Structure 1
Amino acid sequence: MKQIIDFIPLIVFFILYKMYDIYVATGALIVASALQIVVLYLLYKKVEKMQLITFVMVAVFGSMTLILHDADFIKWKVTIVYAVLAAALAISHLIGKSAIKSMLGKEIELPDAVWTRITWAWVGFFSICAALNIYVAFHLSQDVWVNFKVFGLLAATFLFTLLTGVYIYRYLPKDKKSLPKDNKVD
């Protein structure tokens, strides 16, 4: 259910962009994102920090888009979100509190070296997405950018998540006793 709720603002944005324009879609994105936060809180009694950060960025960059009537602001939001994700993962890992390990480590036991590789792979992925968004947003048409934002980045994230799962599967212990005691990976 939560995953479906996560996509509602994006779907609203896409549909209203196709029906009207970037400004109507951006206004609707702000409203849908705010409603998303409310619904998630009502259903789960908590909202993830990243969802709050994303909402604030949608509200700020979306409002700038509407007030200044300049679609470049909403385009920059995507790049900034991906850059923030990359930086947050890198910083959390460098200070010894890997965000990915803290999110998944309760359910999955993996050697530290695997958590490190996964973290840096996601840092790279988010960095590439940020750079690609800049290119698509400012070198191709707005229609291409909207399709890239809605379908391209979503598909890339889904594929990278699957690849991460395949990589993790290689290192999952068959039982708790088979995990190497020294936490080293071949």
Structure 2
Amino acid sequence: MKFLFDWLPVICFFVAYKIAGGNEEAAQHFINTYMSGVVSGGSVTADQSPIVLATVIGILATVGQIGWLKLRKQKVTGTLWVTLVLFTVFGGLTIYLHDEVFIKWKLSILYWAFAVGLLVSDWLFKKNLMRQSMQEIIQLPDQIWSRLNMAWVIFFAIMGALNWYLAFVLFKGDTDAWVNFKTFGVTGIMFVFIIGQTVYLSRHMKDQA
């Protein structure tokens, strides 16, 4: 359930994009009728409507996540706040200018922000954020915590570059292919990385026994 909750905005974005993409005229009518005040010129074209509507739904889903956590008096992580800010800023630009470029950039900037955050916290403030988030679950040697933190720095840096390449080079002009990558490609790569991380850490957790 936590996995579905964490990925709720991505799922909502994908579903909204696909539904709107299959009903472009209806999506265009909805946006031009009910959202004319938040889009430049007061209207969008039919082909622009899927990404605009999906972006709106994605932002609302992220707001809903935070609202749900607040309602249940649970902690809202810094990661989720950063995601909301970037989603709102870059998604807002996509909505207002009905230009998909901004929402595509958002994913790369989000990953690079995570990479910089992990690196700066470790090097300048001597705070290993991966350790802080996981030390109540597992116990590892200091050296392994440092490796884990750096592994995530590299992972996020690569994912940001990969998204940029796919969005603006390989899939340039093919938003549908990018949305599929954003939903399934990113999820698959993340899953494989976490499995590899778990296998690696399990060796050191055994050493701790």
Q: TM-score, normalised by structure 1?
A: 0.89
- Which of 97, 100, 109 is residue 71 of structure 1 equivalent to? 100
User: Shift of residue 157 of structure 1?
Assistant: 0.9
- Which of 89, 111, 118 is residue 82 of structure 1 equivalent to? 111
Q: Spell out structure 1 runs of 4+ moving beyond 6 A.
A: none
- Which of 45, 52, 58 is residue 87 of structure 2 equivalent to? 58
Q: Distance in 1 between matches of 2:63 and 2:102?
A: 18
User: Shift of residue 154 of structure 1?
Assistant: 1.1
CA contact (8 A) 1:109 1:173 kept: no
The yes-or-no answer on 1:35 pairing with 2:64 is yes
For 1:2, the equivalent position in structure 2 comes to 2
The yes-or-no answer on 1:170 pairing with 2:203 is yes
CA contact (8 A) 1:110 1:172 kept: yes
User: Shift of residue 107 of structure 1?
Assistant: 2.2
- The residue type paired with residue 3 of structure 1 is F
The yes-or-no answer on 1:101 pairing with 2:134 is no
User: Shift of residue 77 of structure 1?
Assistant: 0.6
For 2:39, the equivalent position in structure 1 comes to none
Q: Distance in 1 between matches of 2:2 and 2:155?
A: 24
Q: Distance in 1 between matches of 2:73 and 2:3?
A: 13
Matched position secondary structure for 2:153: helix
Where structure 2 has 5 or more consecutive residues not aligned to the other structure, the ranges are: 21-49
User: Shift of residue 173 of structure 1?
Assistant: 4.0
- Which of 158, 162, 182 is residue 149 of structure 1 equivalent to? 182
Residues 98-157 of structure 1, C-alpha deviations (whole Å, 9 max, x = no match): 000111122211111111111111111111100000011112121111111111111111
For 1:184, the equivalent position in structure 2 comes to none
Q: Bigger shift: 162-171 or 36-45?
A: 36-45
Where structure 1 has 5 or more consecutive residues not aligned to the other structure, the ranges are: 179-186
Q: Distance in 2 between matches of 1:136 and 1:66?
A: 21
- Which of 109, 124, 135 is residue 154 of structure 2 equivalent to? 124
For 1:114, the equivalent position in structure 2 comes to 144
Q: Distance in 1 between matches of 2:157 and 2:178?
A: 17
Q: TM-score, normalised by structure 2?
A: 0.80
- The residue type paired with residue 149 of structure 2 is T
Aligned pair count reads: 176
C-alpha root-mean-square deviation of aligned residues, in Å? 1.4
Q: Distance in 1 between matches of 2:112 and 2:75?
A: 25
Matched position secondary structure for 1:96: coil
